[in-house]
Amino acid sequence: MKNGESITIFDTTLRDGEQSPGFSMNIEEKVRLATQLARLKVDVIEAGFPIASEGDFEAVKEIARGVKGAIIAGLCRVIKKDIDRAWEALKYAERARIHTFVSTSDIHLKYQLKKGREEVLHEGVEAVRYARQYTDDVEFSAMDAVRSDLEYLLRVIEATIDAGATTINIPDTVGYAIPTEFGSMIRMIRERVPNIDKAVISVHCHNDLGLAVANSLAGIENGARQVECTINGIGERAGNASLEEVVMAIKTRRDYLHLKTGIKTKEIYKTSKLLSSITGIAVQPNKAIVGENAFAHESGIHQDGILKERTTYEIMTPESIGLTKSRLVLGKHSGRHAFSKRLEAMGFKLSKERLDRTFLQFKRVADIKKEIFDEDLEAIVEDEISQVPETFVLKYLQTTSGSHTIPTATIKVKKGDTITQDAAIGDGPVDATYKAIDRITGIPGRLITYSIRAVTCGKDAIGEVVIRVEFNGSIVIGRGASTDIVEASAKAYLNAVNKVVYRNKVPKVG
């Protein structure tokens, strides 16, 4: 292996990827994605299977006409009409590749093709020769190579190279191989095919056992110099080797692999998002490289390490794939360090005492919500900053309501060392709650305005209630936040009452 050798990245998102259920694209969408793949600097774009349909033919033709920079490939069987049709679409490209294939495993020959080995060998050779009439860039794939008889496979490879194939693809069509096994096969091909130096060995691995990327890396470690892959790992059944995973493995572990690609990695995230946007199918959150959680940290220990030195828990930077920064996810596992740093980043500077109180409130909310967003923090901090001494503190609240039930609120409020409980009925649970509070505090107010907004997203969003209440002619604003809107309403009303007491707007009650 030569230090710094480059691996050709062959993207088949628009062909193998698009064949998988749910990922079908129209011509305009294919051209958009192909244009982005060119920005990503993939070496080869397999634009489609021209003989498959009129739409596929037109898509390949439009991509060949309009997308510059990459080699544009079209797939075809070892049939002359397929090859003719492929070239009819590809001839407009700056650089074109005809990619022809036939199965070589006995199981495919017997049950699918119903042909013998010699007949298939002849067809493969003749197809390559025929394709060379159109272009000197011809790729031959031995479908289901991993399950093929090795001696027969070696014969097919040698013969198709003699016929003019410049790339020989070794597909693990059904995702059957184990990495050490697959690597040994590639090494055997490199060592035993006498004319292999006239062609590039390519690997095309499927993910049925979750080993597509591992097998692809094993292939290049043993002499393969082209990897066929797809954005987000889409493809038949469980998908193909993920382009972003292969590329970033090569980039991140260059110290071990001593290889490189020409991919502009800062375009990876944008390309992944474009594919999701076009197909409407998002990647799973824990997907390597481009998943929502790939650069997210919630564990307090991990967050502390990241804040002190990024490399403690990140082996690549989010910027390297086109993201702006890592994401410290604040949740119940987060520690004080990450919490305080997030507040500082948001512009809040709290005293130690206020930070302690706010952190406790954050933990209480985090036990209810799966994730705390910046809007949650703003509501929590605002609650702390705007606090006046809490003469009255909400300790307990229970409400009942329904279409055939009288709305009732039972509430406990603490004042000093005394806890008072009372109940009231009203027009609704909030009205009943406010009447119960009036009874307990002895400071009745008149609600002027009531507004509520979700300050975060999701079903478990924090709701903030802002009210204007009149107490003996003075208007006071109260605020309260909670994932339970009636509780937020009670907190807002008590906040207003406490402001009245604090400002001596009415005589303090004993």
Amino acid 505: pLDDT: 43
- The whole-angstrom separation of Cα 227 and Cα 57 is 24
Give the mean model confidence (pLDDT) for residues 488-510: 74
SS3 360: helix
Write out the E strands in 66-121. 71-77, 96-103
Whether pLDDT at 157 is above 90: yes
Give the mean model confidence (pLDDT) for residues 265-291: 91
Write out the E strands in 22-113. 44-48, 71-77, 96-103
Where is pLDDT greater, at 510 or 372? 372
Whether pLDDT at 158 is above 50: yes
Angle of CA points 265, 266, 268, to nearest 5° = 65
Check: CB of residue 62 under 8 Å from CB of residue 28: no
Whether pLDDT at 507 is above 50: no
Where is pLDDT greater, at 510 or 236? 236
Q: Token pair for residue 356?
A: 């302690």
Domains along the sequence of the chain with CATH? 5-279 (3.20.20.70), 296-385 (no CATH), 393-502 (3.30.160.270)
Amino acid 314: pLDDT: 77
Q: Give Cβ neighbours of residue 442 (< 8 Å, ≥ 6 apart).
A: 509
What does the pLDDT look like over 28-86, one tens digit per residue? 999 999 999 999 999 999 999 999 999 999 999 999 999 999 999 999 999 999 999 99
> 303 falls in which pLDDT band (50, 70, 90)?
low
What does the pLDDT look like over 320-377, one tens digit per residue? 988 766 555 566 777 777 788 778 876 677 788 888 888 887 887 777 666 676 656 7
Give the strands of the sheet with 418-425, arranged side by side.
Answer: 393-402, 405-415, 418-425
Give the mean model confidence (pLDDT) for residues 477-500: 89
- The three-state (H, E, C) secondary structure of 110-148, written as one string: HHHHCCCHHHHHHHHHHHHHHHCCCCCCEEEEEECHHHC
For the chain, what is the largest distance between any 2 Cα atoms, rounded to a whole number of angstroms? Answer: 104
Amino acid 123: pLDDT: 98
Q: Which of 479, 474, 473 is nearest to 496 (CA)?
A: 479
Within 10 angstroms of residue 308's Cβ, the number of other Cβ atoms is 9
